[in-house]
Amino acid sequence: MQKTSITIQTNQHMHLVDITSKVQNLVTQAGISEGICYLFNPHTTAGLTINEGADPDVRTDIIKGFKEFVPIDYPFKHMEGNSPSHIMASLMGASLTLLITETKLQLGTWQAIYFCEFDGPRTRSVQFRIVASQN
């Protein structure tokens, strides 16, 4: 299947969820050796990023850092009260483009793919698409 989606259950208000193995499993199932993998997050208070996967403190620190500089207590207009979450979503971005080589995500040694929850806990999804290309 070259087109599907990933379901993610987040369990905190703001945190980063490692989805690397879920994405790699879909790449393996697609059986495409060389190509481009696209991930798209359809939510407006969540994002996608790539960062260190080895030390879990890094993903915690990224959230802490964001909370330090994105104005959490600013009198924003949006009535739902989650404008800081929308701002963080745009800082991370809604999509990722990944290179596939020999049916594997071409990530760096320390890299992991993170779903960034900024207004959870919620059940979220990410769209997955893979397109073959010539070597």
**Which position has the token pair 């987040």?**
10
Pick from 29, 93, 104, 121: which binds a second copy (CB under 8 A)? 93
**Which position has the token pair 């397109």?**
131
Pick from 20, 33, 103, 127: which binds a second copy (CB under 8 A)? 127
Pick from 6, 18, 111, 122: which binds a second copy (CB under 8 A)? 111
Pick from 18, 38, 103, 122: which binds a second copy (CB under 8 A)? 38
Contact 45, 94 (CB under 8 A): no
Q: Does 64 bind a second copy (CB under 8 A)?
A: yes
Cα 99 to the center of its chain, rounded Å: 16
Cα–Cα distance list, 16 to 28, 30, 36, 77, 118 (Å) = 24, 26, 23, 27, 9
Q: Does 57 bind a second copy (CB under 8 A)?
A: yes
Q: Does 120 bind a second copy (CB under 8 A)?
A: no
Q: Does 92 bind a second copy (CB under 8 A)?
A: yes
